[in-house]
Amino acid sequence: MSFEDWIFAIHLLSAATLVGALVMSWILTVALRSVETAGTTLSFNRVAMVGATAIGVGLVGAIGFGIWLAILRAAFHPWDGWVIAAIILWCIATAAIVRAVAEYRKPAERARALIASGQTGPDAELAALNRTTTALLMRALASVAIVLIVIDMVYKPGA
């Protein structure tokens, strides 16, 4: 494998980590919607942190190695239309994910406060936070942007 092949492989591994972690975060998001107790919320939060870290690694790796590859490869350039489209979509996805992660901090904070005050049973406010629509919409926006990036990368329109 050439140096360029390695960069390409790491770029795609990062992308796979990103999309895989996004699938993982969707599983957690759906499961979290029926959670009403502080203990379970924090348990889910532990798993969600792993997913969020994987998403972060995937986002940084995909863009970093992707741009590096566009510079390295004679066949492509960073200013090609499909590369610029991918970068714009990446920015939208990143902004949406950052917003979604911030939203999901709220139920974790509420759960910690409940546990500190000795409340371990169901809590209506916590349940509402776990069903946050904003975070769901942001995650959906990020997912659509990432699916569009994958389509853009596979078919390379204009390349």
Partner 1 sequence: MLLHIVGATVVFGALLASATSLALARGEVRLLRLGYFSLLLVGLPGLILMRLSGEWIYRKQGWGDLPHQLRDVAWLRIGFVVADGGAILFLLALVVGGVGIYRLRSGKGGEGLLKVTMVSALVLAVAYVVAVWAMTGKPGKPGVGAAATPAVSAGNPAATVTVTATEFRFTLSQAGVPHGTVVFKVENKGKVAHDFSIGGKTSSLVAPGKSTTLTVTLAAGTLLYVCTVPGHAAAGMKGNLTVK
Least distance between partner 1 and beta carbon 46 (Å): 5
Rounded to whole angstroms, the Cα distance separating 125 from 11 reads 41
Distance in Å, CB of 1 to partner 1, minimum: 5
For the CB of residue 69, give the shortest distance to partner 1 in the complex, in Å. 11
Residue closer to partner 1 by CB (options 7, 129) is 7
Nearer to partner 1, 16 or 71 (CB): 16
Smaller CB separation from partner 1, 40 or 132: 40
| Alpha-carbon gap, residue 7 to 79, rounded angstroms | 19
Q: Are 105 and 71 in contact (CB under 8 A)?
A: no
Amino acid at 11: H
Residue type at 148? Answer: L
Nearer to partner 1, 73 or 109 (CB): 73
Rounded to a whole number of angstroms, the minimum distance from the CB of residue 70 to partner 1 is 12
Distance of CA 20 to the CA centre of its chain: 9
- The residue (of 2 and 117) whose beta carbon lies closer to partner 1 is 2
Distance in Å, CB of 61 to partner 1, minimum: 12
Binding footprint of partner 1 on the chain (CB under 8 A): 1, 5-6, 8-9, 11-13, 16, 19-24, 26-28, 31, 35, 39-40, 43-44, 46-47, 50-51, 54, 73-76, 150-151, 154, 159
* Closest to 101 measured CA to CA, from 73, 138, 74, 67: 138
CA 109 from chain centre, in angstroms, equals 21
